[in-house]
Amino acid sequence: MGKASIGAIVAPPFLTSCGNSTTPLKSRLSQEDLARLKNLVLEGLPASDKDDLLLTNGLNYHTIIKWGDRISDNDTFGFNNDFTCFIPFDDDNPKDGLLWVNHEYVNPLFVSGFNQNNFENPRAHHTLEHVEKEMYNVGGSIIRIREEDGVWNVIQNDSHNRRITAKTPIQFNWDFPIKGKTEAIGTLANCSGGITPWNTFLTCEENYDDCYGDFIYDENDMPTRTPSEFSWWEDHYDYPPEHYGWVVEVNPKSGTAKKHIALGRFAHECCTVYELEDKRVVAYSGDDKKDEHLYKFISSKPGSLKEGTLYVADTVNGKWLALDWEKQPELKAKFKDQTEVLIRARDAAKVLGATELNRPEDIEIDPITGNIFVSLTNNSNRKDYHGSIMKIEETDGKFDALTFRASTYKAGGEDSGFSCPDNLAFDMSGNLWMTSDISGYAMNKEDRPYMPFKNNSLFVIPRYGKDAGKVIRVISAPTDAELTGPWFAPDGKTLFLSVQHPGEETKDLAKPTSKWPFDTDGIPKPAVVAITGDLIEKMNYLNQIEV
């Protein structure tokens, strides 16, 4: 990036954000920047149930790529795009690089043509051909994109363009086999993710049990396998559930990937990595399941996501509890070794008395204060319908501290104007951007508590001026969709954003509930868009000079 601002340094930031919590800050806000940000007038959008991608004044969008688009002679872009992460080839040219996109899950009706509503016994009609198409459309895409004349284009057939799918063999980064194997077949349920300090992508396997079920253990530690949503294992591929639910690292240039066992196995929403001065890393990740936990890994060696200790949060007492089989007698009594502790991280966390949370989703580090923000999306078990954003302050601001203070930064609800927070991203000035994820079956339904919020949206919480701390809606999603994967380009002039699952509640392809992005075939399609415009640029800093 290599940018800094003219004038006096007024804030003590130590990170640059751009949706990226790992790169040391190379910019500071000047007094001029601060004055400009304080005077910025932000016009919010009202809640809307219109089937369109609506943007507030000062924002524009264009579509970069959508489901089914060709990325090479061999491959097409997958379904339900979520996390995006852009890494330029060259720090001095932020307009040409590789975009990683997660493909979280499929809607078989669109992807394989399998319509379970048509059959009394749907599984008998779920063919191998259906499953192959479904498996191809999850995982991730790497695409080379370049901005020319304000428009981001995919470079067709670039040698970096590739798909990683539920069929791609991926090594475990661990010294012991996982269920007898050293590699898994595929990655799936790729929800959000992160970036490493050494510029590789992290993609997180969230609702892995949708594909191969899971083993749950009773009080006598007897396992039962749960059924899967997509019936892949029941019908065609019996892969072990233990091979999924990991953080997966992908090399942007080679496309090679590995699954990081040391970070534990659960419904990883994201993985947010911070590099300490001695180059050891701290990685935060939440388990997006009702009454599950928040974790952090602290490496014992520089640049390692293997050597180190995984901790789980006791947010009541502000303690990080070590999921360490050697040091915790309660874990030794229940599990046979550290590998089992990591595979059954949820059970191990409960043994240690970790705090049950309301579905932790995305995590970002405030570039100004170093506080850690965690979306807690909702939890009907605890009658928390609108969720909140939790703030973690590590003791003495040290990311490898073993104690912290947790508090609620902002609660969802009609007063604050948002419900079900999910993805977070800080921009270069420290404004917080947030997406909402009200489930399609509950959105705009009279008998649910979500009517006032209408369609899912992107919000910004300005840091400065008269609107500081307010939650302002700036983009409204099409029908049934969720906006995901917000990621700022390194020059702060583009916000990459996924429009995921438009028309998700469709039961009949002849009558889709959404038609976005209004292709001639009338079928709704998930797509990645570039958000540009005056407002994005003004929210980020001006007056930059090279350093």
For residue 11, give both structure tokens. 């804030």
Q: Please tell me whether residue 314 binds Ca ion under the rule CB under 5 A.
A: no
Among the listed residues 205, 366, 400, 437, the single contact to Ca ion using CB under 5 A: 437
- Closest by Cα among 506, 450, 460 to 479: 506
Q: What is the 3-state secondary structure (H, E, C) of 172-206?
A: ECCCCCECCECEEECCCCEEEEEECCCCCEEEEEC
Tell me how far apart the 2 most distant CA atoms of the chain are, in Å. 70
Residue 362 binding target from ligand FEO, Ca ion, none, CB below 5 to 8 Å by type: Ca ion
Give 269 or 364: the residue with its C-beta nearer to ligand FEO: 269
Q: Please tell me whether residue 362 binds Ca ion under the rule CB under 5 A.
A: yes
Give 249 or 437: the residue with its C-beta nearer to ligand FEO: 437
State which amino acid sits at residue 519: D
Give 500 or 544: the residue with its C-beta nearer to ligand FEO: 500
364 CB-near residues (< 8 Å, 6+ apart)? 17, 19, 21, 272, 372, 373, 424, 425, 426, 432
Give 168 or 378: the residue with its C-beta nearer to ligand FEO: 378
Shortest separation between residue 420's beta carbon and ligand FEO, angstroms = 10
Residues 397-436: x/- map of binding to ligand FEO (CB under 6 A)?
-------------------------x--------------
Give 72 or 196: the residue with its C-beta nearer to Ca ion: 196
Positions in 152-181 near ligand FEO (CB under 6 A): none
Give 292 or 437: the residue with its C-beta nearer to Ca ion: 437
Shortest separation between residue 361's beta carbon and ligand FEO, angstroms = 5
Shortest separation between residue 484's beta carbon and Ca ion, angstroms = 6
Give 362 or 394: the residue with its C-beta nearer to Ca ion: 362
Burial of 467 (0-12, 13-18, 19+ CB in 10 A): middle
Among the listed residues 37, 42, 191, 257, the single contact to ligand FEO using CB under 6 A: 191
CB 275 within 8 A of CB 254: no
Helices and strands counted in the chain (H then E)? 9, 35
Q: Please tell me whether residue 269 binds ligand FEO under the rule CB under 6 A.
A: yes
- Closest by Cα among 250, 148, 142 to 205: 250
Give 191 or 472: the residue with its C-beta nearer to ligand FEO: 191
- Closest by Cα among 417, 407, 414, 416 to 376: 407
Shortest separation between residue 166's beta carbon and ligand FEO, angstroms = 16
Give 242 or 288: the residue with its C-beta nearer to ligand FEO: 288
Omega before residue 524 within 30° of 0, cis: no
Give 161 or 484: the residue with its C-beta nearer to Ca ion: 484
Shortest separation between residue 437's beta carbon and ligand FEO, angstroms = 6
Q: What is the 3-state secondary structure (H, E, C) of 272-327?
A: EEEECCCCCEEEEEEECCEEECEEEEEECCCCCCCCEEEEEEECCCCEEEECCCCC
Instruction: State phi, psi for 250 to the nearest 5 degrees.
Output: -120, 130
Contact stretch for Ca ion (CB under 5 A) within 143-151, 187-195, 456-464, 467-475: 187-195
Residues 405-434: x/- map of binding to Ca ion (CB under 5 A)?
-----------------x-xx---------
For residue 17, give both structure tokens. 């954000």
Using alpha carbons only, give the angle 328, 330, 334 rounded to the nearest 5 degrees. Answer: 120
Positions in 381-400 near ligand FEO (CB under 6 A): none
Query: Total residues contacting ligand FEO (rule CB under 6 A)?
Result: 7
Shortest separation between residue 500's beta carbon and ligand FEO, angstroms = 9
SS3 455: coil
CB 138 within 8 A of CB 208: no
Residue 271 binding target from ligand FEO, Ca ion, none, CB below 5 to 8 Å by type: none
State which amino acid sits at residue 352: L
Shortest separation between residue 7's beta carbon and Ca ion, angstroms = 29
Residues 25-64: x/- map of binding to Ca ion (CB under 5 A)?
----------------------------------------
Residue nearest Ca ion, Cβ-based: 437
434 φ/ψ sector (left φ>0, alpha ψ -120 to 50, else beta): beta
DSSP letter at 207 equals: S
β-bridge pairing 272-275 and 308-314 = unpaired
Among the listed residues 287, 292, 361, 400, the single contact to ligand FEO using CB under 6 A: 361
Residues 49-88: x/- map of binding to ligand FEO (CB under 6 A)?
----------------------------------------
Among the listed residues 51, 205, 206, 504, the single contact to ligand FEO using CB under 6 A: 206
Give 88 or 421: the residue with its C-beta nearer to ligand FEO: 421
91 CB-near residues (< 8 Å, 6+ apart)? 1, 2, 490
Residue 206 binding target from ligand FEO, Ca ion, none, CB below 5 to 8 Å by type: ligand FEO
Q: Please tell me whether residue 366 binds Ca ion under the rule CB under 5 A.
A: no
For residue 167, give both structure tokens. 């069929």
Q: How many CB atoms lie within 10 A of CB 159?
A: 9
Query: Total residues contacting Ca ion (rule CB under 5 A)?
Result: 6
Residues 286-315: x/- map of binding to ligand FEO (CB under 6 A)?
--x---------------------------
Residue 210 binding target from Ca ion, ligand FEO, none, CB below 5 to 8 Å by type: none
β-bridge pairing 457-461 and 472-476 = antiparallel
Q: Please tell me whether residue 364 binds ligand FEO under the rule CB under 6 A.
A: no
SS3 373: strand
Where do contacts with Ca ion occur on this chain (CB under 5 A)? 191, 362, 422, 424-425, 437
Where do contacts with ligand FEO occur on this chain (CB under 6 A)? 104, 191, 206, 269, 288, 361, 422
